[in-house]
């Protein structure tokens, strides 16, 4: 069961997402560009240079020299779905991210942070938004976005081999089933958008074929009955 249902805290550690810190930016003990600093941001104790965004209009204001025309429709539809399910999206100063980290979805607060340094390139932004947005959809698949669990959405064998092989080189083994499909979604137009819209409609368990162990989990936790009928 654990292979298919994962506590968000553990996945967060794989991403460098959930590191407890003491309250207040002045108490970051390991400096900026560390998981310590990221933890401070995620706990909302560090807010300097962190701003919530709501649509592509905010991207245009933040990066006026970039051409957002090719991605604005998909981005805005994802943002609408995020709003419906209670996910907040922020642009954040690079000092709160370990070097090389471009974005993070925090399963505990359901908040989403994008590293400002990398977001001026539309294709990079969309890859990050799709990838981390897929984790929000996985959060939804595991019963409700309000818990701290995530579940894979697609059967592992459905994920193209190129993405499965890629994550083997970049993620620990326990995180690979979740990361493989998120990496696939990150490179596939509208895949994340459709999953998040399904989450917003409350139809994840009918729009997607539930994997056997996820179904077992949902029944055990009282989200579905044995006939597959939604209970919560």
> Could you tell me the pLDDT band of residue 231, with boundaries at 50, 70 and 90?
confident
Structure tokens at 182: 């998120």
Output the pLDDT for position 15: 41
d(CA 47, CA 194): 31
Convert 187-224 to b/e letters by CB count within 10 Å (16 or more is b): bbeebbbbbbbbbbeeebbeebebbeebbebbeebebb
User: Average of pLDDT values for 113-140?
Assistant: 96
Output the pLDDT for position 134: 96
Convert 137-173 to b/e letters by CB count within 10 Å (16 or more is b): bbbbbbbebebbbbbbbbbeeebeeebbebbeeebee
pLDDT digits (tens, 9 = 90+) for 152-205: 999 999 999 999 999 999 999 989 999 999 999 999 999 999 999 999 999 999
Checking if the pLDDT of 26 tops 60, the result is: yes
pLDDT digits (tens, 9 = 90+) for 42-96: 999 999 999 999 999 999 999 999 999 999 999 999 999 999 999 999 999 999 9
Output the pLDDT for position 7: 54
Query: Is 97 exposed, middle or buried (CB count within 10 Å of its CB: 0-12, 13-18, 19+)?
Result: buried
Structure tokens at 190: 């509208």
Q: Which of 200, 202, 167, 172 is nearest to 182 (CA)?
A: 167
**End-to-end Cα spacing for the chain:** 21
Least confident of 19-33, 96-110, 200-214: 19-33
Output the pLDDT for position 232: 77
d(CA 91, CA 4): 31
Checking if the pLDDT of 22 tops 50, the result is: no
Structure tokens at 16: 């460098």
d(CA 174, CA 140): 20
DSSP symbol at 209:
P
pLDDT digits (tens, 9 = 90+) for 31-42: 999 999 999 999
Contact 3, 177 (CB under 8 A): yes
- Higher pLDDT: 18 or 181? It is 181
Strand partners, 105: 112
């Amino acid at each position: 069961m654990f292979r298919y249902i994962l506590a968000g805290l553990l996945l967060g550690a794989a991403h460098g997402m959930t590191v407890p810190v003491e309250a207040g930016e002045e108490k970051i003990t390991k400096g900026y560009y560390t998981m310590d600093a990221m933890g401070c941001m995620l706990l909302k104790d560090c807010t300097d240079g962190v701003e919530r965004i709501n649509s592509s209009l905010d991207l245009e204001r933040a990066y006026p020299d970039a051409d957002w025309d090719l991605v604005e429709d998909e981005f805005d539809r994802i943002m609408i779905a995020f709003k419906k399910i209670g996910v907040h999206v922020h642009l954040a100063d690079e000092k709160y991210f370990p070097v090389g980290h471009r974005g993070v979805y925090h399963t505990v607060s359901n908040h989403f942070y994008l590293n400002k340094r990398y977001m001026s390139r539309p294709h990079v932004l969309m890859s990050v938004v799709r990838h981390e947005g897929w984790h929000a959809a996985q959060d939804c698949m595991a019963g409700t976005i309000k818990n701290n669990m995530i579940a894979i959405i697609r059967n592992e064998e459905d994920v193209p081999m190129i993405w499965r092989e890629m994550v083997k080189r970049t993620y620990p083994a326990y995180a690979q089933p979740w990361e493989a499909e998120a990496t696939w979604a990150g490179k596939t137009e509208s895949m994340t958008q459709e999953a998040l819209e399904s989450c917003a409609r409350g139809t994840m368990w009918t729009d997607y074929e539930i994997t056997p162990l996820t179904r077992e989990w949902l029944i055990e936790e009282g989200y579905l009955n044995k006939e597959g009928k939604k209970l919560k």
